[in-house]
Amino acid sequence: MIRDIQEEILRLKKENDVCILAHSYQAREIAEVADFVGDSYQLSVMAERAPQSTVIMCGVRFMAETVKILSPQKKVFLANPIAGCPMAEQMDKDLIGMWKQANPDYTVVAYINTTAELKTICDVCVTSSSAVKIVKNLDTDKIVFIPDCNLGAYVAEQVPEKEIKLLQGGCPIHAAVSVKDVEQAKAAHPDALLLVHPECVPAVAAKADYIGSTSGIMEFAKKSDAKQFIIGTEISIAEHLQYDCPDKEFYILSKKLICPNMKSTTLVDVLRVLRGQGGEEITMDEETRLAAKHCIDEMIRLG
Ligand code: 13P
Ligand code: SF4
C-alpha cells in the first residue's frame, strides 16, 4: 500500500516537473519520495537551486514561505495547510516594530522560524546551523535575537564579545525537555553520547556532548566512533539515524520530542497535491516578498 502510493507520487512528480522537499523531521516514507531532505538552511538553498517549476514542501509553513521568497517564479505548495510552527507565530511585526522603535541601535536577528511578514522588518535571518557564524560576522555588537531565547542563549554563550538581548519565545516541543529527562536517559544508557538541538533549554544543552542543528546532529552521529547516542531533538532524527547506521544504537531523549505539526503531513497529502486536490499554494505580495528576502539574502551572504 505505502509502496503503491510512493510509486504514484514518483510518477506524478516526474510527469509534472515537481520537486519534493522534506525537512528531516518528516517520516521515513516521505523522505523516501523527496528530491532532497535536510535542515531548514539546506532546504532554503536547495529550493532556489531546484530546476523544477513546482515545489512541494513537506515541513512547516515558514519553510514553504522561504521557498516562495527565494523563488517567486515557482509554484510552491505546503503539503498540509495545517502544518505551522507555533514558535514562528509567537512574535509579530507590530510587537517587534515597537521594540525596534524603543531600541533603535539594536540589530534584529531573526531565527528563520518566523513568518514572512515579521521577516520584513528584521535585519538578518539565521538558522540553527548558521546562527553563531552569522552573529560573529555581523558588523555590530548590539543584537536582539528573536524569537527563540534558548537558541539565542546558546549563541550568546558562543559569542560572549557581543551584547545579545533575548525576548521570551521558543519551541514548545524542545523547551519541554527537562534536566530530569536527561538524567533518566543517561541512567538508562550510561555509555551513550547526548546530542541536542540548541532549541532545548540551556540547562539541558549544558549536559550535551554535542549541540547542533538537525543535520549537525546527524553528521556528528554518523562520523563518531561512539556506538550509542541519545538524540535530543524530534524523534524522526533518531529513526533516520537508526536506519542509516544499523551498526549503532539511537535512543530518544524524551517521548515529548514529537512535533505534531511536522508529523501532520502524510504521503496521501503529497499525493493529493500532485493530483491538484490538496495542499495550499503559497502566495505573497511582491512588497512583502522583497522586504522579507532582504534578511534571507543577508543570511546567505554572512553564513
Ligand atoms: P533545523 O534548522 O535544525 O532544521 O531546525 C528547524 C526546526 O524547526 C527545529 O525544531
Ligand atoms: Fe516549530 Fe518546534 Fe516543531 Fe521545529 S519542532 S517546527 S521549532 S514547533
pLDDT reported for residue 188: 98
Where residue 276 falls (left for φ over 0; alpha for ψ -120 to 50; beta otherwise) is left
- Residue 22 Cα to ligand 2 middle (Å): 14
Relative to the alpha carbon of 257, which ligand is closest? Answer: 2
Radius of gyration (Cα) for the chain, nearest Å? 19
Q: Which neighbouring-strand residues pair with 252?
A: 231
The residue to which cell 532546504 is assigned: 43
The arithmetic mean of pLDDT across residues 46-52, rounded, is 90
| Predicted confidence (pLDDT) at residue 1 exceeds the cutoff of 90 | no
Q: pLDDT tens digits for 201-220?
A: 999 999 999 999 999 999 99
Q: Which neighbouring-strand residues pair with 76?
A: 55
Residue 274: which pLDDT band, with cuts at 50, 70 and 90? very high
- Residue 262 Cα to ligand 2 middle (Å): 7
Residue 184: which pLDDT band, with cuts at 50, 70 and 90? very high
Grid coordinates standing for 128?
A: 540553527
The arithmetic mean of pLDDT across residues 44-63, rounded, is 93
pLDDT reported for residue 303: 84
| Predicted confidence (pLDDT) at residue 47 exceeds the cutoff of 90 | no
Ligand 1 pocket test, pick from 90, 213, 219 with the greatest ligand atom count within 8 Å of Cβ, gives 213
Ligand 1 pocket test, pick from 21, 24, 40 with the greatest ligand atom count within 8 Å of Cβ, gives 40
Give yes or no for a contact between 233 and 208, defined as CB atoms under 8 angstroms apart.
Answer: no
Residues with CB under 6 A from ligand 2: 60, 85-87, 113, 171, 173-174, 199, 234, 259, 261-262
Residue 238 CB-half CA count within 13 A: 22
Is the shortest distance between the CB of 40 and ligand 1 below 6 Å? Answer: yes
pLDDT reported for residue 40: 83
The arithmetic mean of pLDDT across residues 120-143, rounded, is 96
- In degrees, rounded to 5, the angle at the alpha carbon of residue 158 between the alpha carbons of residues 157 and 159 is 95
* Rounded Cα distance, 59 and 40, in Å: 9
| Predicted confidence (pLDDT) at residue 156 exceeds the cutoff of 90 | yes
Is the shortest distance between the CB of 128 and ligand 1 below 6 Å? Answer: yes
pLDDT reported for residue 195: 98
- Residue 297 Cα to ligand 1 middle (Å): 19
| Predicted confidence (pLDDT) at residue 258 exceeds the cutoff of 90 | yes
- Residue 41 Cα to ligand 1 middle (Å): 9
Which of 17-21, 85-89, 278-282, 298-302 has the least mean pLDDT?
298-302
The arithmetic mean of pLDDT across residues 174-196, rounded, is 98
The arithmetic mean of pLDDT across residues 72-100, rounded, is 96
Relative to the alpha carbon of 61, which ligand is closest? Answer: 2
| Predicted confidence (pLDDT) at residue 136 exceeds the cutoff of 90 | yes
Is the shortest distance between the CB of 120 and ligand 1 below 6 Å? Answer: no
Grid coordinates standing for 251?
A: 535512543
| Ligand 2 atom nearest to 23, measured from its CA | 6
- Residue 148 Cα to ligand 1 middle (Å): 11
Relative to the alpha carbon of 299, which ligand is closest? Answer: 1
Q: What is the mean pLDDT of the chain?
A: 96
Give yes or no for a contact between 212 and 221, defined as CB atoms under 8 angstroms apart.
Answer: no
Residue 197 CB-half CA count within 13 A: 29
The arithmetic mean of pLDDT across residues 63-81, rounded, is 96
Give yes or no for a contact between 124 and 146, defined as CB atoms under 8 angstroms apart.
Answer: no
| Ligand 2 atom nearest to 60, measured from its CA | 6
Give yes or no for a contact between 71 and 55, defined as CB atoms under 8 angstroms apart.
Answer: yes
